[in-house]
Copies of this chain bind each other. A is one copy, B any other.
């Protein structure tokens, strides 16, 4: 069993969405070996930091939350597709060539997998492509940027997927991953009634 870690590392200087200061995590050391006999840290963090899943409430008013998640969606077969040739976005015709099957969890490796900093021109999933993915019956879509869409009105890419309870997994790191089939483990931390949660995402090669 080979475990490939496809998670971002959470740190104060990590890339965050649009480099906004308010989205950067803060680490507060509350106990250390000068004032105590142990070491403890507090974290101030936005739920969309690093590798995470979005639940419907993130983009749909009164949408469902973490409370409705199905764990089997996060321990599942997944396929990594090479889309590193695309410069702007992932369109329906790009997806059509991939041979995606119903029940697949698709992970899109884009040119952003090679970025170390947040890229404002990141490759996103175009809304008609998102609608097509939902019609194909995928159970999840993962991408190695911090957003699955960029400046689209009404967040339609998110909505087409979240309306069908398709998992959106953002902020994975596929630079070192070859296209192919893997077992994905990307279980979100169990937080009550929220719109997103952190994951440690790995791919298992057997």
- The interface stretch among A55-63, A91-99, A104-112, A124-132 is A55-63
Contact indicator B71/A3 (Cβ below 8 Å): yes
Interface centre among A1, A14, A191, A193 (most CB of B within 10 A): A191
CA distance A40 to B23 in the complex (A): 11
Contact indicator A5/B44 (Cβ below 8 Å): no
A155 at the interface (CB under 8 A from B): yes
Oligomer: number of copies: 2
Contact indicator B38/A155 (Cβ below 8 Å): yes
Contact indicator A191/B46 (Cβ below 8 Å): no
Contact indicator B155/A37 (Cβ below 8 Å): yes
Complex interface residues of chain A between 12 and 38 (CB less than 8 A to chain B):
14, 22, 27, 30, 33, 37-38
Given contact pairs A5-B190, A187-B202, A202-B71, A41 touches B195 in the complex (Cβ within 8 A):
yes
Chain A positions near chain B (C-beta within 8 angstroms): 1, 3, 5, 7-11, 14, 22, 27, 30, 33, 37-48, 50-51, 57-59, 61, 71-72, 75, 154-155, 185, 187-196, 198-200, 202, 204
